[in-house]
Amino acid sequence: MLMLIAHNIYIHVPFCISKCNYCAFFSRACTKPDWQLYENNIIKEIEFWSQKLGKINIPTIFFGGGTPSLMPPETFNKIISKISSAFSIDDKCEITLEANPGTINSEKLSDFINAGVNRLSIGVQSLDDEKLKFLGRRHNSQTALTLIKIAQKKNVRLSADFIYGLPNETIKDVIKTCKEINSLGLTHCSMYELTIEPFTPFGKMNLQMPSNEEMADMYSTISETLKLPRYEVSNYAMLGEECRHNLNVWDGQPYIGLGQAAAGRILIENQWYEQLGNNEKFERLSDIARAEERIITGLRQVRGVYLDSDIKKIINMQYIKSNPDLLQVNSDGRLVTTEKGMLILDDLILNLVR
């Protein structure tokens, strides 16, 4: 008999009104997406996984993009109803919707909440109109602030994303942004360093970016100035307000990816599979590859990664003993990265994994 193992669900919504200058996510500019076709495809994928995995429990669902808030609430409703009949949605299931200011008003947000959304993640990116224009965002700071205020009056948990490290940005600018964020009364926010990706408008612009040292100073300044504690490299939250979907995925729980280009990690009969954005494409993943992934996502978290036998097999314990300023094992048996280690995480992982 098939063993039923809980899986989280990530649903990708690959449409945006226009492309931002820095964006390398899988999404396309589209003013009138074919939502019926989108819904039909997602429903087919749900049916595929329900046949493979059985009536599994679903602890979290995350609609990411793209711009999921462009979706009509009826489409969202049909997808959630299908998940509910195909699987078993946990009573306390966290259902997150990513939203861009200007694509959702109070009424539409209420419709999403009535259909099951209980966490909203708003792409604010900056509170400075010049910077928003430079980034290629379609909204201004006032539209973003209005959406935050609307959401704060409703029965929904809230997060907002910001970008730092723009060309010519200074520590003073970063302090100003953090103080403004503090004044908004948010319980969760994400602070992403601007990275320049090839094949984006920024990738072709030869921008003068802050140096690595300046970026590291900005990173430290953010955790010193924000009132919310950091729980992952880019994420800050009051205790209990962390994104449960991400925590589960970073801790190595299985998840299904639905929608074009959505990836997943499926667990069937004790064997891991890598799922690559299309139902038919899923391949076995070795225990070593899976342990490596768990180290990468685990060490990005402040609470670290549990040192189980699979992880112990592939890491250099001597490296941990010789570098207590970078890595430590805590009393729960978790390997945690120190503040200094977080600044050189990629190199640290290269040295740690044998």
Q: How far is the CB of 67 from ligand SF4 (least distance, A)?
A: 5
Find all residues with CB under 8 Å of 37, minimum gap 6, and list them. none
* Minimum CB distance to ligand SF4, residue 19 (Å): 4
Please name the helix (run of DSSP H) or strand (run of DSSP E) that holds residue 98, with its range, or none.
Answer: strand 88-99
Shortest distance, CB of residue 103 to ligand SF4, whole angstroms? 9
d(CA 339, CA 317): 20
Smaller CB separation from ligand SF4, 128 or 304? 128
Nearer CB in complex with ligand SF4: 59/123? 123
Structural element, H or E, at residue 136: none
Nearer to ligand SF4, 28 or 284 (CB): 28
Nearest distance from C-beta of residue 190 to ligand SF4, angstroms: 13
Paired sense of beta strands 230-232 and 235-237, if any: antiparallel
- Judged by CB, which is closer to ligand SF4: 65, or 252? 65
Q: Angle formed by the axes of helices 171-183 and 212-225, to 10°?
A: 30
Half-sphere exposure of residue 327: CA atoms within 13 angstroms, side-chain side:
27
Closest CB 7 distance from ligand SF4, rounded Å: 24
Q: Considering the complex, what minimum distance in angstroms separates the CB of residue 81 from ligand SF4?
A: 26
Question: Within 13 Å and on the Cβ side, how many CA atoms surround 51?
Answer: 7
Closer to ligand SF4 by Cβ: residue 22 or 76: 22
Residues 6 or more apart whose CB falls under 8 angstroms from that of 317 comprise none
CB of 271 to ligand SF4, least distance (A): 33
**What is the DSSP pairing of strand 327-329 with strand 305-306?**
unpaired
Q: Please, which residue, 23 or 237, has the CB nearer to ligand SF4? A: 23
Positions touching ligand SF4 (CB under 6 A) are: 16, 19-20, 23, 25, 27, 65-67, 100, 123
Task: Tell the smallest beta-carbon distance from residue 98 to ligand SF4 (Å).
Answer: 8
Give the C-alpha separation, 293 to 353, whole Å: 11
Q: How many CB atoms lie within 10 A of CB 72?
A: 15
> Which residue number, 27 or 96, has a Cβ lying nearer to ligand SF4?
27
The closest of 312, 343, 345, 314 to 329, measured between CA atoms, is: 312
Residue number, 124 or 237, with CB nearest to ligand SF4 = 124
CA dist 87 to 2, 47, 53, 235, 251, Å?
14, 10, 9, 30, 22
